[in-house]
Chains A and B, each alone.
Chain A
Amino acid sequence: SQKIEQNSEALNIQEGKTATLTCNYTNYSPAYLQWYRQDPGRGPVFLLLIRENEKEKRKERLKVTFDTTLKQSLFHITASQPADSATYLCARGEAAGNKLTFGGGTRVLVKP
């Protein structure tokens, strides 16, 4: 089965700095990766999508990369703010089928 691994340790970061989260996958490259934000007691909220043939995507202060050689995606939050504190989930999607396979998420805590 296809797996997605995220660093289970919480990431503590100072306000204004860049937070970098890692998502590693096994076996073949997924057709796409999606990143979601999840706050306590809430469902995940979609943030960004990157496809297999794309190297980098940006949205406001967010940037995601896709490295098929390293089998890795990096998610960056630049100029981090306390409001960015949440759990961030990486999910892989395949060319066939519609389900997402999620990683365990990385909790980010931005300190003022």
Chain B
Amino acid sequence: GAGVSQTPSNKVTEKGKYVELRCDPISGHTALYWYRQSLGQGPEFLIYFQGTGAADDSGLPNDRFFAVRPEGSVSTLKIQRTERGDSAVYLCASSSSTGYGPRDTEAFFGQGTRLTVV
């Protein structure tokens, strides 16, 4: 597709379970970002990939959160032992930023995965 695709669009899980959220970025975009957005707030940075490597994971809240991007395209955000406080919309974005040139290139966001932990 032409845009950033995230699956599933909605995920309900029980407290303590493991979840995986998937992101398909725009083809050719080497930069990929994960953000988390709670109701009524702006997106909060989690992690940034440049190619296959996590260039900045300073936003991951704790070691229950992990993300991978093994082939430099699709990324998976993994959350272990989910807690009710993890409930939020998880947004993925990609951009054409290479990490060497201009850093202010626009980010293209997916529509997010709404995670509800019950």
CB A31 to nearest CB in B, in angstroms, measures 7
Q: A89-B42, A99-B56 are in contact. Are A31 and B104 (CB under 8 A)?
A: yes
Number of interface residues of A (CB under 8 A): 28
Interface residue stretch chosen among A41-49, A60-68, A72-80: A41-49
Q: A32-B104, A45-B109, A46-B106 are in contact. Are A99 and B42 (CB under 8 A)?
A: no
Q: Does B67 contact A (CB under 8 A)?
A: no
A97 to B112, CA, bound (A): 23
Q: Does B31 contact A (CB under 8 A)?
A: yes
Is the beta-carbon distance between B106 and A97 smaller than 8 angstroms? no
B25-48 CB contact bits vs A (8 Å, 1 = yes)?
A: 000000101010000111111001
Number of A-B pairs whose CB atoms are under 8 Å?
A: 71
Q: A89-B42, A103-B42, A105-B42 are in contact. Are A95 and B107 (CB under 8 A)?
A: no
Q: Which of A32-59 contact B (CB under 8 A)?
A: 32, 34, 36, 41-46, 49, 51
Q: Does B97 contact A (CB under 8 A)?
A: yes
Is the beta-carbon distance between B109 and A98 smaller than 8 angstroms? no
Is the beta-carbon distance between A43 and B99 smaller than 8 angstroms? no
A105 to B44, CA, bound (A): 12
